[in-house]
Amino acid sequence: MKQNALINNIIKIETKEKEILKNVLLVFGGTVFLSILAQILIPLKPVPITLGSFAVTLMGLLYGRKLATATILSYVVAGTAGIPVFANFKTGVLFSPSGGYIFGYIVAAIFLGYLADKGFTKSYAKTILALIIANVIIYALGVLQLSLFVPNKDVFKLGVYPFLIGDTLKMLVVASLVPTLWKFVPKNDK
């Protein structure tokens, strides 16, 4: 059966029980991965620069819509429940200046996962375009919530401009990695 989510072409499972176990392990592993990368940061105020968006976009493109969404939601639920998974080992940031970016992670994962399920991750150009749109989604929701905490004249200065260079580098890494991984999937499985 043809599957477009890259992870399903890398890890092939034959039984339903093993498929469920694989998905649980991928969601757990992805949540841990995102939690770790969220701690690699430049501590700017009011929103730190982290590698969280790298993890989100990578998982969106690797996992497909359902697994990526489940993973990011697990991360959000863990942080909301008091597990220190957010940047600086914080909890409860959903209603802080950073919260909009976390909500953006969810929407970006759904968007990228959907495109991954449709086969967009096989092309470098389509992957770059998808990543640009996903980052715009993250910025839009981030800036929207940030505007509740800082004057409107400072929103882009504090919530977009400091992230542009790093996010461009993260996008280039993800955009070169994912389509390259497809080259290792046997032709009859693509």
Domain spans, the chain: 6-189
Q: What is the pLDDT of residues 100-159, one digit of tens each?
A: 999 999 999 999 999 999 988 889 999 999 999 999 999 999 999 999 999 999 999 999
Task: Pick 16 or 1 by higher pLDDT.
Answer: 16
Nearest to 64 by CA among 22, 99, 103: 22
* Angstrom distance (rounded) from CA 126 to CA 119: 10
**What CATH architecture does domain 6-189 belong to?**
Orthogonal Bundle (1.10)
pTM exceeding the 0.85 threshold for the entire prediction: yes
Q: What is the pLDDT of residue 1?
A: 38
Q: What is the pLDDT of residues 87-101, one digit of tens each?
A: 888 887 899 999 999
